[in-house]
Amino acid sequence: MESNKAQTAPYLGLTCLKGKNIYVVAPGGCTAKGGMARMVKYMVESWPADAGNLKVLDSYGPGTRYSMPPYFMLLLIRLLVAALFAQIDVLHIHMAERLSVTRKGIVIHIASFFRIPIVLHMHGGQFEDYCRALSPRRLSALKRTMAKVHTLVMLGECGKSFVQNYLDVEPSRVRIVPNAVPAQTCERKNFFRSAETTCSIVFLGRVCDRKGVSFLISALSSPSLAGLDWHCEIVGDGNLERYESKAGELGIRERITFHGWQDQENSRRILASADFLVLPSCHEVLPMAILEAMSLGLPTIATPVGEVRDVVRDGVTGLIVPVGDTQALSEALGDLIRNPGKRVELGQEAYRLYLSSFDIAIFNKRMSAVFLDAMQTAVKNT
């Protein structure tokens, strides 16, 4: 994690960026559902006053994709005006896959025309699959767009390797900056709960097959878990009726509470009352839910997708199970349900890892160095 230029001490960007205007382009700004907006929100709320001025621009709006065009056009107008008056010192763009690539590509080309330093921050658990499915012509266009970016921020080594090898991005332009979360203000009230207390399992994320919800419900219905004392809280929006019906068919509906979408405060409260998090996704990059669990001293059961293995270290900070392996997931669930001491041990190690690598203050120092580096690279290329 600490091997690249953006993470070297003493993080001079914090003071060198004083007075600079950093424009942040993100879908939904700080208010949308999902991990990308949550990361932007955490960054904005904790950004040091002497490390530049963050100005967040919404590239999508609060509605559906059908209501997105007016918000995107407004974004382009605001960017053009700011660029004409030389008000943008660094442009920080958050991008996922599919139409996000098209929208952010337009923004990148505009910024490049005005010679604005560009930092492209990659999210999206299916970005690699998206790229591999592109036609040769569209892949070539994406590579040309990437060539206009001064610094490309990836969340881990897997993503870094992909953009270097598949999109021909020079290693000198790639920085690894993992997601991060602030210290949790809510108190864990059940950290040392005994085996006699009902074990509380939490899933936090969009309720869909991509996040492994069907896989999770099937694992929870395993006969090996039938005699154990547990309850599962599923927090997130999606087709809840479908999964409620599946849980009913498998005879465990009364053991699962479907909360639907919850705001940040309620999500934290539910997570703080849990014994461990489970996130058996098919696609991820670096889920905010896992980092939030770690900041509360919670272990996680997860799948080895994206950069998850950087945070969920099997047998150290949590347990790793193969994607779609219902038996392995049910065994891991049973292991943590039966062993409160193991949950505490893994959770304590998860908390130590959070403090050393995934606290929001560390993220801000890394990003300030990235911004400064992008500005210096832009000057060299002028």
Q: Are residues 140 and 85 in the same domain?
A: yes
pLDDT digits (tens, 9 = 90+) for 104-139: 999 999 999 999 999 999 998 899 999 999 999 999
Question: For residue 311, how many other CB atoms are within 10 A of its CB?
Answer: 24
The reply to whether 85 falls in a domain is yes
Average pLDDT over residues 347-363: 96
Q: What are phi and psi of 63, to 5 degrees?
A: -100, -150
The reply to whether 192 falls in a domain is no
DSSP string, 139-154: HHHHHHHHTT-SEEEE
Q: Are residues 209 and 106 in the same domain?
A: no
Collapsing DSSP to helix, strand or coil, 93 comes out as strand
Closest CA to 2 of 374, 365, 372: 365
pLDDT band per the 50, 70, 90 thresholds, residue 7: very low
pLDDT band per the 50, 70, 90 thresholds, residue 341: very high
pLDDT digits (tens, 9 = 90+) for 174-222: 999 999 999 875 555 445 555 568 999 999 999 999 999 999 999 999 9
Question: For residue 344, how many other CB atoms are within 10 A of its CB?
Answer: 16
Q: Are residues 27 and 38 in the same domain?
A: yes
Q: Are residues 17 and 123 in the same domain?
A: yes
Q: Which structure tokens are listed for 378?
A: 């832009």
Which residues span the domain enclosing 126?
5-180+359-381
Collapsing DSSP to helix, strand or coil, 348 comes out as helix
Q: Are residues 57 and 46 in the same domain?
A: yes
The reply to whether 295 falls in a domain is yes
The reply to whether 162 falls in a domain is yes
Q: Positive or negative, the Cα torsion across 280, 286, 291, 292? A: negative
Number of structural domains (the chain) is 2
The reply to whether 112 falls in a domain is yes
Q: What is the pTM of this model?
A: 0.90
Q: Are residues 144 and 173 in the same domain?
A: yes
pLDDT digits (tens, 9 = 90+) for 55-71: 999 999 887 777 889 99
Closest CA to 100 of 34, 45, 166, 160: 34
The CATH number of residue 235's host domain is 3.40.50.2000
Q: Are residues 206 and 335 in the same domain?
A: yes
User: Is the pLDDT higher at 53 or at 50?
Assistant: 53
User: Is the pLDDT higher at 10 or at 258?
Assistant: 258
Q: Are residues 227 and 157 in the same domain?
A: no
Closest CA to 371 of 121, 146, 46, 36: 121
pLDDT attached to residue 258: 98
Helix boundaries (H) for 194-287: 213-220, 223-226, 240-249, 264-272
Please answer whether residues 307 and 157 qualify as being in contact, where contact means their C-beta atoms are separated by less than 8 angstroms. yes
Closest CA to 334 of 211, 192, 251, 222: 222
pLDDT attached to residue 46: 95
